Every structure is written in C-alpha cells, then in structure tokens.
Amino acid sequence: MEGKYFLTGPPGSGKSTVMLRCVERLRGLGFAVGGIATPELRRGGRRIGFEVVDLASGRRALLAGVDVASRFRVGRYGVDLAGFESVALPALDYAEESCDVVCIDEIGRMEFFSEPFKRRIERLMREPKPMVAVLHHSYVGAYGGWGTLFHVSPENRERLTRVVAARLEDHLRKRHA
C-alpha cells in the first residue's frame, strides 16, 4: 500500500535509528508524527530491557526487562504487558486520529504478546494512514507486503533515512494538495 514503509534487518543494523531520523525530518517539515519507540535500557554497558515511549507525548513505561517476572518472555526478558499497553495503545490511538504519520518501533514478538496491540496493527495496515514501522524479521511474511520493505544495514541506513523521509514527504504533500 502506498505510504507504508517497513524497515527490517538484523539486530544493530540501524532500523530504529532510520525510523527515528525519519520522525525528526518529517517534524522538521511541519508534519505531525506519532506512534511508539522501544529504546533499550542499559545499566553498566549491558542491555537490561526495553522501554516503550509515546513519540507525541513523551510518556514512557517499561516494555520488558531482565528483572520482570512475567509469563510472557522473549529470551532473558520478561514482558510487562500492562506497562506496554498503558503507553502503546493510547499513543497509537492519538497517532491514528491526530497525526499525519504513524511510526512504530517495533512490530515484534514482545509487542505481539498484546492482543489489543496486534489488532491495532492489523487495522492500521488496512487504513490509508501513512506509516513507518520497524518489522522484526519473523513478521516480514505477514506484514511486509502491506507496503514497501527496506532491508537496513549499517552501510545503507543513512541513505534509507533520506529515501524513506523523501517518499513520505512526497506522499503527504500529494494528500494535502
């Protein structure tokens, strides 16, 4: 679908960086951007978990951590489903209703323990709302065909930031013309 861009690639390739730089560029052009980011939490140089951050309001909560007791687990991380949903679902509601572009980092295993989040993603796929989303490789088959899929690497991430932001800008300007 036109206006939907998915970023996939191995860990550390720069997927989240490309998405966040697209957010900055689009905001710099005057577009309203909402959605979520899931930055790492580090202690003493070691990753200990992930937060979920509302890109519009800055609200944040724990997504997963090594110290989280949960029946929902990915590797050594327990997923804080209530914390995740308390930020992610309102952030996506706001982005869908009030923003020009929805950005999601990421569509992945931790996030998909939440059935309401999964349903929201599936609805956003069907809607014409422009989107940039980081797509875990496990979900490329299910969602990659809903838009343009880019494979991010350290070598191409700077170029992809420019390409994706320019395509979104063009798409948004056509919609607003």
Assign 2 a pLDDT band (cuts: 50, 70, 90): confident
Q: Which domains does the chain have, with CATH numbers?
A: 4-38+90-176 (3.40.50.300)
Q: Using the predicted structure, report yes or no on whether residue 175 has a pLDDT greater than 90.
A: no
Question: 173 or 163, which is more confident?
Answer: 163
71-88: pLDDT as tens digits: 999 999 999 999 999 999
Taking the CA atoms of residue 125, residue 131, residue 132 and residue 137 in that order, the dihedral angle to the nearest 10 degrees is: 0
Chain center to CA of 16 = 7
Please tell me the predicted confidence (pLDDT) of residue 65: 97
pTM over 0.75: yes
Taking the CA atoms of residue 147, residue 64, residue 100 and residue 174 in that order, the dihedral angle to the nearest 10 degrees is: -20
Taking the CA atoms of residue 34, residue 58, residue 75 and residue 155 in that order, the dihedral angle to the nearest 10 degrees is: 60
